[in-house]
Amino acid sequence: MLLIPFLIGIVFIFIHFFASVLVPNEKLKRMKWFSFSGGLALSYIFVYLLPTLHKQQTDIQEPYRRFTMESEVYFMGLVGVVLFVGIQIIIHKNYISQTSTFWSVIVFYALYNALVSYSVLSFEVSIVQALFYCVAIGPHFVAVAHDMWREFPVEYNKYGRYILAVGIMVGWMVALTTELTPLFKSIVFALVSGAMIYTVFKHELPSEKETHFPTFLISVLVYSAITMSLKYFFEW
């Protein structure tokens, strides 16, 4: 159903265009927002992402199954973390100027957006699943885009948000027009999952001083309960 991927893509693009105004300026509200966002992201990882990686591993089909050791997909997730960390280190250690660093970071995150977009939109989803993805991944995109806007405010508003939106559109178009093998989809999903796990723990989970714990706890409990209920009733 093409309408659902279209709507998901539009939401993701909208987020990148307005990331600078979606996060409240007032300190307590901002603290609550990031606590809520961090709780969603943490729940998404432990209740949906990790079980999905396990399912991707167990669903590997012949002729590849005979070569598997029940850990290959997880290893690709580890590769995703290492690649993500390594590229960021290379970018920041080879600092030349604010402008060159911005372009390096924005191109890297545009590729990341394309892979996330592909991973989400390459699978047929229902309206309920579409809403689930928007609620889970939307705040993740807001946090990433907002960090870039704070670091490169002028460049982000002038160029960055458009390039990140193009990344979403590229992943979206590849998902809709290209049919890749299930094994390759699993590899891409694992790489993206590793990068997302690192990003969440490094950038989205606020420090203990910046956490509004009641908001964080409510976010974790509510989203986990919703996710587990949806998985039970819809057999995701």
CA distances from 65 to 49, 51, 60, 154, 171 (A): 22, 19, 6, 50, 28
Q: How many residues are recorded in the chain?
A: 236
Give DSSP secondary structure letters for 132-199: HHHHHHHHHHHHHHHHHHHHSHHHIIIIIHHHHHHHHHHHHHHHHH----HHHHHHHHHHHHHHHHHH
Nearest to 175 by CA among 109, 108, 236, 115: 115
Q: State which amino acid sits at residue 206.
A: P
Per-residue pLDDT of 83-109, as tens digits, reads 999 988 888 787 778 888 899 999 999
The pTM score is 0.84
Higher pLDDT, 69 or 229: 229
State the chain's mean pLDDT as an integer.
84
Residue 117: its pLDDT value, please? Answer: 86
**Alpha-carbon gap, residue 198 to 210, rounded angstroms:** 19
Residue 193: its pLDDT value, please? Answer: 92
Token digits of residue 109: 């995150």
**Per-residue exposure over 21-41, b if at least 16 CB sit within 10 Å of its own CB, e if not:** ebbeeeeeebbbbbbbbbbbb
Per-residue pLDDT of 155-175, as tens digits, reads 999 999 999 999 999 998 888
